[in-house]
Amino acid sequence: MRAVARAYYTRSVVQHKPPFTSLSLVYDEIMADIEYEAWGDFILSTITDRGWQGGAFLDLGCGTGNGTFPMVVRGFEVSGLDASAEMLQVAREKLPHVKFYQGDFTCFTLPERFSVIYSVFDSINNLLGEEAFQAMSERVFAHLEGGGFFVFDVNTTIGLRNLWGSGRAEGSSGDVYYCWVHSFDEASGLAKVEAYCQKGSTAFTEVHYERPYDAPELHTLLTKAGFYPVEVLEFPHGEPAGPEADRVWVVAQKPVNG
């Protein structure tokens, strides 16, 4: 399969697409082994240990709904928000009874308020500067009920500098071949992923950028937005994250009277 895909690639025209557009066509196949269920369990156990007693969820950066599904099957009321119309189309087809909204992390306004807003699988790393992160944090804070939780994972500088070790992720999943090439620019502090995918006669490349966030900066930005306390943890046991962590989980609470 992989050899066939490479041979086709050499004689095909590769379309260059904006991030999270054509990727929606193959995303679920490539990400079939991602541990969304375990992440859902981690979120629930973490907030329950901190006094959460129920309420509605918002999946921020829900994409095709893979991170939404574990909460839905557990019987919770869940909504999703994403900037990509293409990814949301897939999510709506999979979960037709869920409310999905299209919107930007930094300026969204929804009619509901939530007890938990969560975001998984690097979505927050797509915010490429402190101003964007601060704006997102303020929108999340405004959409949480008093005492509500904001829970998300994020790649650190160590994680994005050394992503995939070799700087390349390549393989086949179903009838999709993918070859994603990673680089990290020390001057800008941004990671770049050139994501080539091929399914049948369709071949495309999307270029994605991510910015790392480390524990001290996360504490500063979230506290500035009004969250307290702010904890930076490691998966799967929830211990405080060490300085060498390549990916961390953040649990930030909105004060009851916030």
DSSP secondary structure letters along 93-142: HH-TTSEEEE--TTT---S--EEEEEE-TTGGGG--SHHHHHHHHHHHHH
pLDDT bin (cut points 50, 70, 90) of residue 12 is low
pLDDT bin (cut points 50, 70, 90) of residue 2 is very low
**Summary mean pLDDT of the chain:** 94
Average of per-residue pLDDT across 79-96: 98
Give percent above pLDDT 70 in the chain: 95
The full set of domain ranges for the chain reads 2-29+159-210, 36-156+213-253
**pLDDT tops 50 at residue 205:** yes
DSSP-assigned states of every residue in the chain: -HHHHHHHHHHSPPEEE-TTSGGGGTHHHHTTT--HHHHHHHHHHHHHHTT-----EEEET-TTTTTTHHHHHTT--EEEEES-HHHHHHHHHH-TTSEEEE--TTT---S--EEEEEE-TTGGGG--SHHHHHHHHHHHHHHEEEEEEEEEEEE-HHHHHTTTTTSEEEEEETTEEEEEEEEEETTTTEEEEEEEEEETTEEEEEEEEE----HHHHHHHHHHTT--SEEEEETTTTEEPPTT-SEEEEEEE--TT-
CATH T-level topology, domain 36-156+213-253: Rossmann fold (3.40.50)
Q: What is the pLDDT of residue 14?
A: 79
Q: State pLDDT tens for residues 18-39.
A: 999 999 999 999 999 999 999 9
Average of per-residue pLDDT across 126-146: 98
**pLDDT tops 90 at residue 207:** yes
**pLDDT tops 70 at residue 9:** no
CA distance 152 to 145: 17
Q: What is the pLDDT of residue 165?
A: 85
Average of per-residue pLDDT across 182-211: 96
Q: State pLDDT tens for residues 40-56.
A: 999 999 999 999 999 99
Question: Nearest Cα to 36, choosing from 112, 95, 101, 85?
Answer: 95
Average of per-residue pLDDT across 138-148: 98
Question: Are the C-beta atoms of residues 140 and 110 closer than 8 Å to each other?
Answer: no
